[in-house]
A = this chain, B = another copy of it.
Amino acid sequence: MPTMTSETAKPAPKDPYDLPDVSGLTVGVLGGTGDQGRGLAYRLAKAGQRVVIGSRSAERAQAAADELGLGVAGADNEECARRSDIVIVAVPWEGHAKTLETLREVLAGKLVVDCVNPLGFDKKGAYALKPEEGSAAEQAAALLPEARVTAAFHHLSAVLLQDPGIDEIETDVMVLGESRADTDIVQALANRIPGMRGVFAGRLRGAHQVESLVANLISVNRRYKAHAGVRLTDI
């Protein structure tokens, strides 16, 4: 038998499809009473994930949770963050910085998933806003230096997410972040939802174009009367 060369002795590169089991983690959704947040909470709870909806008002969070059922809990944003392993940020862009600033301490060490799309709207449709930090996700990273900030779940149709008649959401979820361990967890979380696939799509400095692409999807939806999602080919 040939001797093993130093080349073949190198550890094999990690399989990008080999992702951790996240079924035991609790997922909080800040802004979980909005369309996007509620839709994500619904899909994750339906997939068997423990979910806590967060809102500025604990009462409104509880009401949204009761409406969803599926074991979903409701709490104010701070309590939601405290109880969760993974915290999805689904607040409106207008309240993004302010909400995160007040949660800096409770979010320290947590895996934060920013899914906010900074968009403006005028007569011609939607257009990308340009956050000073580069993107909503980079703003989150700047405001939460001790959190593990990632970005994902930008291109989902809130209409499809919330439609109980739809079992599968056919779309890829681009996941961005600085730590492979963290982006692997977020990809695995996306994979929990039937039809969705989490795909690593770069570092946070690439978040602006992923967030802003929603403006284009809105144009697509208007032209084709659709709820467009994104799939990546050849992977």
Residues of chain A at the chain B interface (Cβ within 8 Å) = 16, 124-125, 127-128, 157, 170-171, 174, 176, 199-203, 205-206, 208-210, 212-213, 215-220, 223-224, 226-235
Contact = CB atoms under 8 A, between A and B. Distances in A.
A209 B203 contact: no
A175 to B, nearest CB: 10
A230 B229 contact: no
Oligomeric state, in copies: 2
B223 A232 contact: no
Contacts of A230: 230-233
Contacts of A171: 233
A172 to B, nearest CB: 9
A216 B235 contact: no
A208 B205 contact: no
A93 to B, nearest CB: 15
Given A127-B206, A206-B219, A228-B233, 20 more contacts: A16-B223, A124-B205, A125-B202, A127-B205, A157-B234, A176-B216, A199-B224, A200-B224, A201-B219, A202-B219, A202-B220, A203-B219, A206-B215, A217-B232, A220-B235, A226-B235, A228-B232, A229-B233, A231-B232, A231-B233
Contact of A216 (B209, B215, B217, B227): B209
B201 A128 contact: no
A229 B219 contact: no
A176 to B, nearest CB: 8
B216 A202 contact: yes
A229 B220 CA distance: 17
Nearest to A211: B209
B224 A235 contact: yes
Contacts of A16: 223-224
A67 to B, nearest CB: 26
Contact of A209 (B174, B208, B232): B208
Most buried by B among A124, A127, A202, A229: A202
